[in-house]
């Protein structure tokens, strides 16, 4: 029963915090510390990410289908636009790839330090609060803006730093329209989430039976993936509505307060 409860909590945290700008990695670490939960394990971690990846594909199914069909369209202009969009996604991935692999060990060690996570969550909050003073824009995502959003995504490799928060703040600074910013932010995350899931799958395949001891059952893991996908879908809808309004910056004070509490009360 405790295993089922822990997986449900982790799945909800993943679904909410993966897309709302409050840091999924930070909240998973905090949840484990405050609730005394065990780490999710390789199998569960993979499927929670697969769940949130599925919610991206479902939520943005129409633009994804349009891009995919555009790649092979007979219309040269439509084909150029589709390949250009894919190229922008590839450009946005470069900063994260350049940072993650050389510093993987140091970054992984940060997940063990709850106070470090809290401090980085406060940093996220400060950035989000600062977006209140940035003007709204109507620009589309060009290659330079894609690269800048990619730099924000690279910073969010650190636990406690929100990927959506950093990418959308970078888009806001570039005066990108809310709809274009949200769509590109989450489509650009899909290759990295898929790549991260693949790395965890390879790690799980190579793991010894002893390393997989204590993993949740496949049924519980599948349930967690479904919960993460459903919660993630509605989180995307909430975030898009927030971006269209003027309340995006309000996630900032929450992150600052949550991070301060972690720094003060977690060891």
3-class secondary structure per residue, 18-52: CCCCCCHHHHHHHHHHHHCCCCCHHHHHHHHHHHH
> How many independent structural domains does the chain possess?
1
Mean pLDDT of all residues in 228-235? 95
- Per-residue pLDDT of 123-172, as tens digits, reads 999 999 999 998 888 899 999 999 999 999 999 999 899 999 999 999 99
Residue 12 lies in a domain: no
State the pLDDT at residue 17.
86
Mean pLDDT of all residues in 206-217? 66
Residue 17 lies in a domain: no
Residue 203 lies in a domain: yes
Which one-letter DSSP state was computed for residue 139? B
Mean pLDDT of all residues in 1-30? 83
Mean pLDDT of all residues in 200-226? 74
Range of the domain at 210: 23-35+42-265
56-69 residues labelled b (16+ CB within 10 A) or e (exposed) = beebbeeebeebee
Residue 239 lies in a domain: yes
State the pLDDT at residue 211.
61
End-to-end CA distance of the chain: 27
Distance of alpha carbon 209 from alpha carbon 227, whole angstroms: 27
Strand partners, 176: 139
State the pLDDT at residue 210.
63
Residue 4 lies in a domain: no
Helix, strand or coil, per DSSP, at residue 176: strand
CB–CB of 229/55 below 8 Å? yes
Distance of alpha carbon 131 from alpha carbon 147, whole angstroms: 19
Q: Distance of alpha carbon 109 from its chain centroid, rounded?
A: 19
State the pLDDT at residue 219.
82
pLDDT at 196 over 80: no
Residue 7 lies in a domain: no
């Amino acid at each position: 029963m405790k295993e089922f409860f822990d997986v449900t909590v982790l799945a909800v945290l993943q679904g909410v915090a993966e897309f709302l700008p409050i840091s999924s990695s930070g909240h998973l670490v905090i949840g484990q510390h405050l609730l005394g939960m065990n780490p999710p394990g390789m199998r569960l971690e993979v499927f929670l990410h697969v769940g949130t990846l599925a919610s991206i594909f479902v939520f943005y199914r129409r633009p994804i289908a349009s891009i995919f069909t555009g790649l092979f369209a007979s219309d040269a202009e439509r084909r150029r636009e589709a390949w250009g969009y894919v190229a922008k996604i590839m450009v946005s991935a470069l900063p994260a790839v350049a940072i993650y692999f050389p510093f993987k060990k140091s970054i992984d060690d940060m997940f063990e330090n709850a106070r470090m996570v809290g401090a980085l969550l406060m940093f996220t909050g400060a950035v989000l609060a600062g977006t209140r003073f940035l003007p709204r824009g109507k620009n589309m995502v060009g290659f330079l803006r894609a690269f800048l959003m990619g730099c924000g995504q690279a910073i969010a490799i650190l636990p406690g730093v929100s990927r959506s928060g950093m990418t959308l703040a970078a888009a806001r600074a570039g005066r990108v329209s809310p709809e274009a910013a949200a769509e590109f932010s989450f489509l650009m995350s899909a290759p990295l989430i898929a790549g991260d899931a693949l790395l965890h799958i390879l790690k799980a395949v190579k793991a010894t039976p002893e390393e997989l001891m204590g993993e949740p059952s496949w049924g519980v893991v599948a349930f967690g993936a479904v919960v993460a996908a459903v919660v993630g879908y509605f989180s995307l809808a909430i975030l898009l509505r927030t971006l269209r309004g003027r309340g995006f910056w309000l996630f900032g004070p929450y992150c600052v307060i949550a991070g301060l509490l972690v720094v003060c009360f977690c060891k």
